[in-house]
Chains A and B, each alone.
Chain A
């Protein structure tokens, strides 16, 4: 398996524009996570899906952020409108055995810069 695949790897956009980040989890994994990484706040969980259903979105910063998982092999994280403070590295991760504490596999991340 190629692991968790994220696209794009880098995104530079202007303030106010819509940004869509994409993720393909490892085949067979039931859980999918979106994390945001910044120097100040470290790795923050944004949202967690189990079997394509959002379970915990309490980490989503505000209504400008939305996430979907239309099927087991694809998820998107959308920011609309984007702001400079959204600049960060966004990671998608997946794991098997939902409900059990087990290894999460991370993608290589999308580095977002909002100017």
Chain B
């Protein structure tokens, strides 16, 4: 199974700060890069996703930055709030194959 490497494993950010989570992939056939958010006791839920024809996608306080040449993408959470405290997973998939390959996850804690 192709790998997606995610860092850091855990992250503590002050309220109002910027949270940054990074992912790197190997398979150049990947063409869909979602981020999932998971709260304790819940299943992961799609937060935001990007395809490689754009370098950035923004939805509210959440932004994905994508660097195709470096095979890296990152999630930025602006003005981080305690309610953002969760585990975040990056993932990758390719057309013609529906399954997602997930990173190991980042536990984010936003302190009040």
Contacts and interface: CB of A to CB of B under 8 A. Distances in A.
Interface of A: 4, 31, 33, 41-43, 45, 48, 50, 56, 58-59, 91, 93, 95, 97-109
A4 B104 contact: no
**Interface of chain B, helix or strand or loop or mixed?**
strand
Nearest to B92: A101
B43 A93 contact: yes
B95 A99 contact: yes
A56 B34 CA distance: 21
Interface of B: 1, 31-32, 34, 41-46, 49, 89, 93-105
A41 B44 CA distance: 16
Given A42-B102, A45-B1, A48-B98, A101 B93 contact: yes
A87 B8 CA distance: 25
B102 A43 contact: yes
A106 B104 contact: no
Residue of B44, B49, B103 with highest tally of chain A CB at under 10 A: B44
B98 A4 contact: no
Contacts of A58: 1
A42 B44 CA distance: 12
B11 to A, nearest CB: 16
A52 to B, nearest CB: 14
Given A31-B98, A101-B93, A101-B94, A106 B44 contact: yes
Nearest to A45: B99
B105 to A, nearest CB: 6
12 contacts: A33-B98, A42-B103, A50-B98, A56-B99, A59-B1, A95-B98, A98-B98, A101-B95, A103-B34, A105-B46, A106-B43, A108-B43
